[in-house]
Chains A and B, each alone.
Chain A
């Protein structure tokens, strides 16, 4: 059980403050999720032909410099990277599959948290405040962000078990609730070639979505079919390259609240997570209806005008 939060900026002038606006939202959800926390932030897009990955190691003092050097040698590709606590953001001019393959060989114990053009996923064990401080959330810039605070239900409290879970390029999922049929579904998805690292029910939901998208479903079709395929109680927030989506199961016991102004759309498990946002007193505040997808997206990616 958990707290989920999301912030999508309609007004680009606020992008330098994304982290500053979001940090109190994440911390407000501490009581709902004291075990671990994480967030997926979007922005700083890489150019065509490039891919951005976030990698996380077990500790801060992992020798990423050596790994990056080895990767550069192996793939002979231009790259750029920076470290953030136990994670690095790696931008590389190569195909994602080639990079994954190389990393699997060079450093199988380093986890690939996300891949895409824009997304960066950072997560870890500890209170939300600790996670914010560890990764410097307050000073981050970007266009949109979703986050999660975790109270582990049936699977272990580990970094891998924390949300957001990546479901494909620039896609991620956070979940509040508890699924009841994830065991069987995980076995079926494994047979379809989806990989799992944990016993976590949310990882199964993320794997299901990733599978449907790989099969060619649109996000809407995939989410609609998840209402049938997934049994249990859930509020999902999904991060996409251009925005975010929210959906609740038909019984809708887990909470969800949305707020919209001219400057932003925000989402949270509880209103108090939204109360620090500028202009919230005048915002349109409402609850998403069950079994219905709500989505906010830019029409085109930054820099790619049509």
Chain B
């Protein structure tokens, strides 16, 4: 070449800069990378599905006057007191410990304004959350941290957790910097310990024993409260059938986009399946047992907007749950925190080191100074606003499809943009009648 030009550098797709960084980090520290959040890489998701709005063959509903119902009843299979929610969007289980007390209180406030439920996490029930949340689902996990019958009786529903989407087959994790005096006290742990959690329940294994465990919880609560069973999406067709056979009132199905406060990066990215292929498997299982709509299905893992809500319900869910989105609504990863996040090695829009407990938003931290930054009342208002938008968006689209209730959306209202999403969601590729892989 006659002129000086800068050579074009070529990055390897297999050993890209991120991979190089990770290998070098592993070589230096000798420990796997731990972070929060759900799967970050791009997956087939609700964005690959489209709703077919009304035209000549179908008619839309007018806004406001022509009602589009949004309520949902959960747990009417066996419980004396099923839960009646105003909207089909619930707040997923997140622990006090993973989140600050103010964050849990904010979630309770916002959910109550919106007429929905919150869920405790792997650390037990706080008075703040029970005090503020009109409908509180109490998680029953392998660790049994903080589990006690008084709180069981105070709960509105009990959610037996087999796993979560971020790590099906894995247990809870909370690193020492977040095991403060209060957290340690609730969990009966030494302060500052790196909490190791069991991945299996201590006193039952398998659906035959789960049936007896569900009966025990029902007996303790005098058959009043719905019993949910939460599973991380892996083999949902079998898992849903077994959960129903074991006596579940509600199934909660969490896809791999579902977040966690802390777990190994490889677990998040490589174990479990996205929510898109999980929902049709779960619905098929319920339908084959004649239990669709009788045992309700709540799905989670990457629900972000009203379109996701509408599409999940069109695929057959009775409701959805939000986790990561709720935290973002409270203020997680807000642009105004960019400078502070840069000081701790991240940036606004990228921050996922929730395990370190240094969140400048005051949400995924136990630090008292940082926690103060989240005002529970303001946070509750923000969450309620976000929930309202989710529901309004879903209603708008449902009305456009001619539906007077969100649960009247069905798979025929959907088409797919890609072969993968068509096969996973079991809806046709747009413009065709083709559903790839339909021999299941």
**Which residues of chain A have a CB within 8 Å of any CB of chain B?**
1-3, 31-35, 151-154, 176-178, 233, 253-255, 269
Contacts and interface: CB of A to CB of B under 8 A. Distances in A.
Interface string B381-417: 0000000000000000000000000000000000000
Question: Which 3 pairs from chain A and chain B are nearest by CB?
Answer: A1-B208, A253-B205, A32-B208
Nearest to A154: B238
Interface residues of B, number: 13
B205 A153 contact: no
B206 A3 contact: no
By CB atoms of chain A within 10 A, which of B206, B211, B235 has the most?
A: B206
Contact of A1 (B200, B206, B235): B206
B210 to A, nearest CB: 8
By CB atoms of chain B within 10 A, which of A3, A151, A178, A254 has the most?
A: A151
21 contacts: A1-B206, A1-B207, A2-B208, A31-B208, A31-B211, A31-B212, A35-B245, A151-B208, A151-B245, A153-B242, A154-B235, A176-B208, A177-B206, A233-B205, A233-B206, A253-B200, A253-B205, A253-B206, A254-B205, A254-B206, A269-B208
Interface string B236-271: 001001100100000000000000000000000000
Contacts of B208: 1-3, 31-33, 151, 176, 269
A152 B207 CA distance: 10
Interface in B182-220: 200, 205-209, 211-212
Contacts of B205: 233, 253-254
Chain B interface, DSSP helix/strand/loop, else mixed: helix
A235 to B, nearest CB: 11
Contacts of A153: 207, 238, 242
A151 B289 CA distance: 14
Contacts of B235: 154
A130 to B, nearest CB: 17
A2 B242 CA distance: 12
A253 B206 CA distance: 9
Interface string B409-428: 00000000000000000000
B209 A255 contact: yes
By CB atoms of chain B within 10 A, which of A1, A3, A31, A254 has the most?
A: A1
Chain A interface, DSSP helix/strand/loop, else mixed: loop
Contacts of A233: 205-206
Contact of B207 (A151, A255, A269): A151
A30 to B, nearest CB: 11
A154 B281 CA distance: 13
A255 B207 CA distance: 13
A33 B211 CA distance: 11
Given A31-B208, A32-B211, A151-B207, 17 more contacts: A1-B206, A1-B207, A1-B208, A1-B209, A1-B242, A31-B212, A32-B208, A151-B208, A151-B242, A153-B207, A176-B208, A177-B206, A178-B206, A233-B205, A253-B200, A254-B205, A254-B206
Contacts of B207: 1, 151, 153
B402 to A, nearest CB: 38
Contacts of A151: 207-208, 242, 245
Nearest to B207: A1
Nearest to B238: A154
B114 to A, nearest CB: 39
Contacts of A255: 209
Contacts of A253: 200, 205-206
B214 to A, nearest CB: 11
Interface in B91-116: none
B3 to A, nearest CB: 60
Contacts of A34: 245
A152 B200 CA distance: 20
A253 B238 CA distance: 20
A151 B242 CA distance: 8
A199 B66 CA distance: 51
B243 to A, nearest CB: 12
Contacts of A32: 208, 211
A32 B206 CA distance: 10
Nearest to A29: B208
Contacts of A35: 245
A273 to B, nearest CB: 13
A151 B211 CA distance: 11
B440 to A, nearest CB: 13
Contacts of A269: 208
A89 to B, nearest CB: 31
Contacts of B200: 253
Nearest to A251: B205
Nearest to A176: B208
Nearest to A34: B245
A176 B205 CA distance: 11
Nearest to A33: B208
A176 B212 CA distance: 15
A80 to B, nearest CB: 40
B324 to A, nearest CB: 31
Contacts of A177: 206
A154 B207 CA distance: 12
A269 B206 CA distance: 13
Interface in B353-376: none
Contacts of A3: 208
Contacts of B241: 152
